[in-house]
Structures are given as C-alpha cells and as structure tokens.
Amino acid sequence: MVRLMPSLLSADFANLQAAIESVPSADALHVDVMDNHFVPNLTLGLPVFESIRAATPVMLDVHLMIEDPDRWAPAYAEAGAESVTFHVEAAAAPVRLARELRGRGARASMALKPATPIEPYADLLPELDMVLIMTVEPGFGGQKFLDLCLPKIERTRALLDKVGGDVWLQVDGGVSAETVERCAAAGVDSFVAGSSVFGADDPDAMVAELRRLALA
Ligand code: DX5
Ligand code: ZN
C-alpha cells in the first residue's frame, strides 16, 4: 500500500482549483503552511485552507511549518483536515497536541527536519498516526533530495514495526522518479511530491508513475 500526496506548494496559487483537478488519482493533497518564522518562507493560512477544503472532498494532509503549532494545529483539524502534521522541533507539548488533534477527528502526525533524530521520540509513536521524515530542509519546493536521511527512515520504519498498529511513514522533499524507489525500499508508504508532479506536462501521469515505481 502506497499513498501519493501531491504538494500544492508547486501549483499555481492563483488557480488552485485547476491544480486540484489535475491530479484526480492523488490519495491526498499536501498543503504546506509556512509562517516565515519556523522557515524562511510564507505561504498560506487558515482562510486559504478553508477555501481548499470547500473545493474538494479529497483527503487534505496539512504540513505546518510554523512556530507555536500547539496553538494553531487544532484549528486545521476543526477546519476539516484529515491529517495535521506539526514539527516536533516547534511543539511545546507534542503528546498533548497529538491527543488534541485526534480528539478533533484528525490524524496526528509529527515531522522531523533532516538533522532531528527519531530516537528521542520513540516513546511518542503510539500517540501518532504518521511520522514525516523531511528529506530536504523545510521551506521551499524544488530542492535536492538528501540521501543522508535514508538511514533515519530505515530506523523509523524499524521502530514503527516494533510499535505495531498502522502509523504511516511519509517523506517530503525532492521526491521524484529518481528518488521514490530509494524511499520505498527504506520503508516509506506515503510520498509527498511537489515540483516533480506539478512541473510535469501531465501531473496525474506523474502520480501514476511515482506510484508504479514505489510499488516496484
Ligand atoms: C517543503 C515542503 C514540501 C514541498 C516539496 O518544505 O514541505 O512539501 O512542496 O517540494 P518538492 O517535492 O519540489 O521537493
Ligand atoms: Zn510539505
């Protein structure tokens, strides 16, 4: 089972409806929220998210690259996000936050930047529905995949297998036809792809191609 989650960050922000409709075989749409504090870039907030929510019934996977996710993340669950990812580097109380998200009916997900190890957070895994291992420094689309993250992906897969249950393992950053197989081999089941999908002539064909390579 693999899931393909195109990132709207690489879509035309003046025409998100067309972007959403260009990837009908996506399992979810990945929505990147940046605040220009946690990362040096600014994207969109709750009002735009609510419009995206109203525009499609597809699963929305919100990736919060913001300070103080403890304050903001629950609002995205309230607004109808099926999955909300906070960065553990920014969360003051990740266990409480994960429980709040689940309490609001969303999947609770924790993200790690490339230099953040998984091991200190191993005991949190039962509180989560997904772990996102960033494979670029968060903040921008179109960056080169960091191979140095692969050992951490493998270690996270091993920890998740030990915990059991159905915690998804996601990668985000530089995922393309060149890198998707490496991630799948390391144990990833959920793939975010921005520039490789929306930069393709046929975005939905690229979703299908990434899925084929991930399953190979
Ligand atoms: C980057 C974002 C990603 C971004 C990935 O910080 O979190 O979701 O859209 O873009 P690509 O796939 O182009 O690396
Ligand atoms: Zn993202």
Choose among 167, 215, 171: nearest CA to 191: 171
Active site residue 201: no
Cβ neighbours of residue 213 closer than 8 Å, sequence gap 6 or more: 177, 180, 181, 184
* Calpha distance 24→171 (Å, rounded): 21
Beta bridge partners, 152, equal none
- Per the prediction, the chain carries an average pLDDT of 98
pLDDT category at 188 given cuts 50, 70, 90 is very high
pLDDT average, residue stretch 63-86:
98
Instruction: Tell me the residue range of the domain where 175 lies.
Output: 3-215
pLDDT average, residue stretch 10-26:
97
Q: How many domains does the chain have?
A: 1
Task: Evaluate: CB of 5 within 6 angstroms of ligand 1.
Answer: no
CB-CB contact of 139 with 93 (8 Å): no
What pLDDT sits at residue 3?
98
ipTM metric: 0.99
Q: Ligand 1: which residue has its CA nearest to atom 10?
A: 141
What pLDDT sits at residue 185?
98
Give the number of the atom of ligand 1 that is nearest the alpha carbon of residue 141: 10
* Calpha distance 3→191 (Å, rounded): 6
What pLDDT sits at residue 46?
98
Cβ neighbours of residue 54 closer than 8 Å, sequence gap 6 or more: none
Task: Evaluate: CB of 174 within 6 angstroms of ligand 1.
Answer: yes
DSSP states of 177-213 = TTTHHHHHHHT--EEEESHHHHTSSSHHHHHHHHHHH
Burial 52-88 (b: 16+ CB within 10 A, else e): bbeeeebbbbbbbbbbebbebbbebbebbbbbbbbbb
- Closest ligand to Cα 195: 1
Q: Is 37 annotated as a binding residue?
A: no
Catalytic residue (choose from 27, 32, 129, 189): 32
Q: Can you tell me which residue has the tokens 């409480």?
A: 96
* Cα 215 to chain centroid, rounded: 19
pLDDT average, residue stretch 27-45:
98
Q: State phi, psi for 189 to the nearest 5 degrees.
A: -120, -10
- pLDDT tens digits along 148-184: 999 999 999 999 999 999 999 999 999 999 999 999 9
What pLDDT sits at residue 136?
98
What pLDDT sits at residue 157?
98
Q: Is 49 annotated as a binding residue?
A: no
Residue type, 197: V
CB burial of residue 163 (10 Å; 0-12, 13-18, 19+): middle
pLDDT average, residue stretch 119-132:
98
pLDDT category at 190 given cuts 50, 70, 90 is very high
Residue 172 belongs to domain with CATH number = 3.20.20.70
* Calpha distance 198→135 (Å, rounded): 18
pLDDT category at 128 given cuts 50, 70, 90 is very high
* Calpha distance 195→144 (Å, rounded): 11
**Has this prediction a pTM greater than 0.95?**
yes
pLDDT category at 27 given cuts 50, 70, 90 is very high
